[in-house]
Amino acid sequence: MNNYKFCAQWILDRKHGKNIRVLDYGCGPGKIVKALLRLPGLLWRTPFLAAFMLCAGLALTSARVEATYTAVELAADLPETSGTTVGGLNDNGEVVGSGPIGGRHLGFLLRVDGTRQNFEGQSGSDFTVARGINLAGLIVGSTNTQTGVIAFRSLMGFCQHPLNPLSGDSGSEAFAINEAGQTAGYSSGPTGVRAVIWDRTGVPQELPEPPGSQSSRALAIDLQGNAVGVSEIQAPRAVLWKVGLPPKDLGALPGQFMSEAYAINANGDIVGYSEDTETQQRHAVLWTSYGEVPIQDLGTLPNGASSWALGVSNSGQVVGTSQTSGLFHAFLWTPQVGMQDLNQLVTLPPGIVLTHALSISSPHGFILAIGRNNDLPDTAEDDVKLSIFLLAPPPLPDIIATSVSYENGLFTSTVKNQGTAATPAGTLIGVGYLVDGGWRTCGTIDGPLAAGASVTIGSTCGGYTIPAGTHTISAYVDDINRFAESDETNNQLSRSVTVP
């Protein structure tokens, strides 16, 4: 047995971590490295992990430093006391919110080109709040009517359509819309507040209450229609409504009871907060795999007591706000680096401090943030002005496998860089080859790979003979996460092969 296979066998023999599947891919189990680093409580940062990382040719101290963002100021000089709210972001960099305009409170749509479009949720309404927008430009929120507050959906501020409450109820509010046109929110009436999802035609469906719940609200929804939010179970409690399953109480950190869930990504990563009811301090938290992995405390910025996680991208980046030395600063958390102050990752106008990061898009990773014109706690309230920023990440590569084949013990794949930047010079581009879900061998070439270019990668780590029969082969590109990509979720391509 060579050193390559010995390493993998040693890992298997350790029998650590029932949720981690490590097969005989040897010392290049990139997806496993990612999974280990994401486990809560840094469980794997033990001598076992150290040996594992060394065997894989990685260093525990070699985490990538996140690149600097570019700040685009979408709106400025908004009085903090004006009642302006911001909440919705899509992957086109379009932002929705609401604020006072000409004696009324209207929704607005902000674009990167600096244009602003104001709109009503319903014709003649004096109060509109916009909270969500999808890639198609469908906007959701709530608006005043003659009978009460009603949720609405519109296309770029036009063609308003009410999202009516459940039968017998009088009010509704909408918080988020997915790319399929499903909207998450709640319906309210004589029986209380009940979480709902409106389908693409605007028909509401009541979500079941968790046991003991007095009320609930759905605050976010993913592409598959899975929703997260909060239920009142003696106190606020984070809840997941997964399609076809009973509602799941996501729980709180050990020794705590209160929690809320604010966002969910395409991989089932859910973020929010958990609160200590005695100290009333909150910590940003992450539930992974639809809450199947124990809750993870994301901590705070240095010298901070409280934090909130408000958004999560498909690549696992989390944004929110955290105290630091008594002040609130926006943060970016990644599995590789942990929590960072966003103010240290972007160049801002003089005197501006980012206090909250409200959302992060996928796959491009735009961040919606709020800036404050003075970071001093004793600033006169009337002198505080807010700005709305879109933070654009630097151009990044995005490599995918466009084909994978097998013949006579050797694998071959075509790898394309569909991103906006070349892969790093001097850094290998790797592909892990899997058979029926098990890692078998790999291939590498030297970088860089230019944006838009493709390359063929073979089995440079050695061959593997697939037994006779029908099997599934897969190519997993950027197999040990050697460089950052704009989308970390599209690295695998699979197909069926029959070996005689």
pLDDT tens for 443-489 read 999 999 999 999 999 999 999 999 999 999 999 999 888 988 888 88
CA-to-CA distance for 496 and 481, rounded, in angstroms? 25
Shared domain for 301 and 423, answered yes or no, is no
Say what the pLDDT of residue 157 is: 82
158 pLDDT higher than 90: no
Say what the pLDDT of residue 173 is: 96
CA-to-CA distance for 309 and 427, rounded, in angstroms? 33
Instruction: Return the number of other C-beta atoms located less than 10 Å from residue 196's C-beta.
Output: 28
Say what the pLDDT of residue 94 is: 96
Shared domain for 372 and 410, answered yes or no, is no
pLDDT, one tens digit per residue, over 322-348 is 999 888 999 999 988 899 999 999 999
Q: How far is CA 96 from CA 66, 142, 204, 300, 358, in A?
A: 27, 13, 23, 28, 12
**Cβ atoms 395, 423 nearer than 8 A:** no
Return the CATH number at 452. Answer: 2.60.40.10
Instruction: Judge if the upstream peptide bond of residue 448 is cis by omega within 30 degrees of 0.
Output: yes
Amino acid at 141: G
Token look-up 């033990």 returns 46
Phi-psi map region of 475: left, alpha, beta (phi>0 left; psi -120 to 50 alpha): beta
User: What b/e sequence results for 414-442 when a residue is b if at least 16 CB atoms lie within 10 Å of its CB, and e otherwise?
Assistant: bbbbbbebbbeeeebbbbbbbbeeebbbb
Say what the pLDDT of residue 301 is: 96
pLDDT, one tens digit per residue, over 219-238 is 999 999 999 999 998 899 99
Instruction: Return the number of other C-beta atoms located less than 10 Å from residue 266's C-beta.
Output: 17
Shared domain for 350 and 402, answered yes or no, is no
Say what the pLDDT of residue 115 is: 93
SS (H, E, C) 441-471: EEEEEECCCCCCCEEEECCCCCCCCCCCEEE
CA-to-CA distance for 55 and 58, rounded, in angstroms? 7
Shared domain for 90 and 234, answered yes or no, is yes
pLDDT, one tens digit per residue, over 236-252 is 999 999 999 999 999 99
**Cβ atoms 229, 216 nearer than 8 A:** yes
- Which of 64-68, 262-266, 296-300 comes out lowest in average pLDDT? 64-68
Shared domain for 359 and 493, answered yes or no, is no
Task: Please give the full DSSP string across 134-161, using - where no structure is assigned.
Answer: -TT-EEEEEEE-SSSEEEEEEETTEEEE
Which carries the bigger pLDDT value, residue 354 or residue 380? 354
What interhelical angle do 30-38 and 47-55 show, nearest 10? 150
Domain boundary (24, 39, 63) is at 63
Shared domain for 385 and 401, answered yes or no, is no
What interhelical angle do 3-14 and 47-55 show, nearest 10? 160
Return the CATH number at 297. Answer: 2.120.10.30
Q: Which residues contact 476 (CB under 8 A, 6 or more apart)?
A: 30, 31, 401, 431, 432, 433, 434, 491, 492
58 pLDDT higher than 90: no
Say what the pLDDT of residue 59 is: 33
- Which of 39-53, 123-137, 175-189, 271-285 comes out lowest in average pLDDT? 39-53
Shared domain for 282 and 135, answered yes or no, is yes
Q: What is the mean pLDDT of the chain?
A: 84
Shared domain for 354 and 379, answered yes or no, is yes
- Angle, CA 471 vertex, CA 467 and CA 473 arms, to 5°: 105
Q: Which residues contact 79 (CB under 8 A, 6 or more apart)?
A: 382, 384, 385, 386
Shared domain for 30 and 102, answered yes or no, is no
Domain ranges, residue 46: 1-63
Instruction: Judge if the upstream peptide bond of residue 247 is cis by omega within 30 degrees of 0.
Output: no
Which carries the bigger pLDDT value, residue 310 or residue 81? 310
Shared domain for 222 and 352, answered yes or no, is yes
Q: Which residues contact 261 (CB under 8 A, 6 or more apart)?
A: 219, 220, 228, 229, 230, 238, 239, 240, 250, 270, 271, 272, 287
Shared domain for 219 and 367, answered yes or no, is yes
Compute the average pLDDT of residues 5-29.
32
Say what the pLDDT of residue 376 is: 52
Which carries the bigger pLDDT value, residue 429 or residue 44? 429
Say what the pLDDT of residue 396 is: 87
Domain boundary (361, 392, 423) is at 392
Structural domains in the chain (count): 3
Helix, strand, or coil (residue 14) = helix
**Within 13 Å and on the Cβ side, how many CA atoms surround 403?**
9
Q: Which residues contact 268 (CB under 8 A, 6 or more apart)?
A: 222, 226, 288, 289, 290, 291
pLDDT, one tens digit per residue, over 89-125 is 999 999 999 999 888 899 999 999 989 999 988 887 8
Compute the average pLDDT of residues 262-280.
93
pLDDT, one tens digit per residue, over 377-390 is 555 555 688 999 99
The H or E element that residue 387 is part of is strand 385-392
Compute the average pLDDT of residues 131-140.
96
Instruction: Return the number of other C-beta atoms located less than 10 Å from residue 177's C-beta.
Output: 28
Which carries the bigger pLDDT value, residue 401 or residue 394? 401
Q: pTM for this structure?
A: 0.77
The H or E element that residue 360 is part of is strand 353-360
pLDDT, one tens digit per residue, over 402-453 is 999 999 999 999 999 999 999 999 999 999 999 999 999 999 999 999 999 9
| Token output for 339 | 């929590």
Selection from 475, 476, 470 nearest residue 496 by Cα: 470
Shared domain for 224 and 157, answered yes or no, is yes
Domain boundary (392, 414, 433) is at 392
The H or E element that residue 206 is part of is strand 204-206
